[in-house]
Amino acid sequence: MHRKQRSEWTNNVLYRLLGKPVFFRMDPENAHHLVINSLHNAAKIPGALTLMRGMYGVPEVPELATDLFGIHFPSPVGLAAGLDKNADAVEGFSAIGFGFMEVGTVTPVGQPGNDRPRLFRLPPEEALINRMGFNNHGTEEMTARLRALKQRPIPVAVNIGKNKTTPNEEAFRDYEKCISALYPYADFFVVNISSPNTPDLRNLQHGDELSALLQAVTNQMAAEARKHGASKAVLVKIAPDVSDLELEFMIDTIEKSGVSGLIATNTTVSREGIHHKNAKETGGLSGKPLAARSTEIVSRVYRQTGGKLPIIGSGGIFSVADAYDKIRAGASLVEIYTALIYEGPEINRKLHRGLRELLARDGFNHISEAVGADHR
């Protein structure tokens, strides 16, 4: 075993034998806050981030570094929205091997979200159910946090949503407010219209409501670009719980809107094949059970758009095979969330090493050559 592999094995064992048992004895949301606070505080301790990069960081290599949306991504594996809701731990997450990250979902005005308990583990399925309800501190606090960052080693996307009390017919104003407040501090934006935990939010994915919302979003992005002298990308995050016909119309509307790309997918309300007692809890399910459906959505989007609309694949990625399946289905980048909880921060090194091996196996010189390979 090479020295680097021994280090990875040791780090993995440490998490599985020490870290994970401690976290999994805690209330899930309390464990979540402990992680965020620890990563936030690590940035204040001299040498801590350097130590974390040494333990969990991944080197930038030519075959995996990606340029997309006018942004350089040192690795194709990012952190999905929902973990760092208020941009508290950007520097910490940047040090453990991610190539980019989403912060949020943020709403114009801070809100407490749904009542606790609202986060549940399903260990046999390696899944989570959450009904957090866009709990966050609002755009003003996120703006201050992002402005205060001394350095930003990886691209940061701001995931934006509407306040719970905002009716759907006025939702576009909330998205406009988020863009206006955070435009100077986001590398790109993600429009969240697919969380199952805000009443009626998913209705914004369909028909005239989707078209009108995306028109407002792209108009606001254009206005901010003129104001600040720099254009930025905006993506749409879609749900997996749609029919084939709904998905077809949704993709068509998104493509015509002029947005930069989409993220497939958000969490699911399906409980098919789930037997754990927590399956009865309402909310969005993430983790391994979502892998096949989210990959199918990636594939359908790629096929319908002819690969012209960039996709970030998200949902159920635990292994390098999961990540590579999404890339070959059409994803240019991928995101993880639940796997970080179950596998620990060593997962980034595992995915990074595994993707390089699979690219070499299949004769690809760069990850972009593998994007959509299953359709050729």
Q: Give pLDDT tens digits for 365-374.
A: 999 999 999 9
Share of the chain above pLDDT 70, in %: 95
368 in active site: no
H helices present in 43-88, as ranges: 48-56
Q: What is the pLDDT of residue 209?
A: 87
**Residue 365 assigned to a binding site:** no
Q: Which domain holds residue 95?
A: 1-370
Q: What is the pLDDT of residue 1?
A: 47
The token pair at 120 is 């549940």
Q: What is the pLDDT of residue 152?
A: 85
Q: Check if the beta carbon of residue 263 is closer than 8 Å to that of residue 335.
A: yes
Q: What is the pLDDT of residue 139?
A: 98
H helices present in the chain, as ranges: 3-14, 20-25, 28-42, 48-56, 90-94, 139-148, 171-182, 207-228, 244-257, 291-305, 320-329, 338-343, 347-361, 367-370
The one catalytic residue in 75, 194, 195, 260 is 195
Largest Cα–Cα distance in the chain? 60
Assess if residue 198 is contained within a domain.
yes
Q: What is the pLDDT of residue 332?
A: 98
Cα distance between residue 72 and residue 209, in whole Å: 33
Q: Give the sign of the dihedral formed by CA 24, CA 333, CA 160, CA 70.
A: positive
**Residue 130 assigned to a binding site:** yes
> Could you tell me the CATH number of the domain that includes residue 193?
3.20.20.70
Assess if residue 375 is contained within a domain.
no
Assess if residue 330 is contained within a domain.
yes
In order of 70, 329, 350, 354, the CA distances from 369 in angstroms are 18, 12, 21, 16
**Residue 363 assigned to a binding site:** no
Cα distance between residue 94 and residue 75, in whole Å: 11
348 HSE (CA, 13 A, CB side): 29
Q: How many domains does the chain have?
A: 1
Rg (C-alpha) for the chain, rounded Å, is: 19
Assess if residue 272 is contained within a domain.
yes
Cα distance between residue 29 and residue 121, in whole Å: 10
Assess if residue 177 is contained within a domain.
yes
The token pair at 231 is 């254009």
**Residue 192 assigned to a binding site:** yes
Assess if residue 376 is contained within a domain.
no
Q: Quick one: which of 222, 193, 187 has its CA closest to 94?
A: 187
**Residue 326 assigned to a binding site:** no
Q: Prior bond to 105 cis, omega within 30? A: yes
**Residue 267 assigned to a binding site:** yes
Q: Quick one: which of 146, 261, 162, 249 has its CA closest to 213?
A: 162
Q: What is the pLDDT of residue 18?
A: 66
Assess if residue 365 is contained within a domain.
yes
> The pTM is what?
0.94
Assess if residue 282 is contained within a domain.
yes
Q: Which residues of the chain have pLDDT under 70?
A: 1-19
- Bridge partners, 68 (sequence order): 71
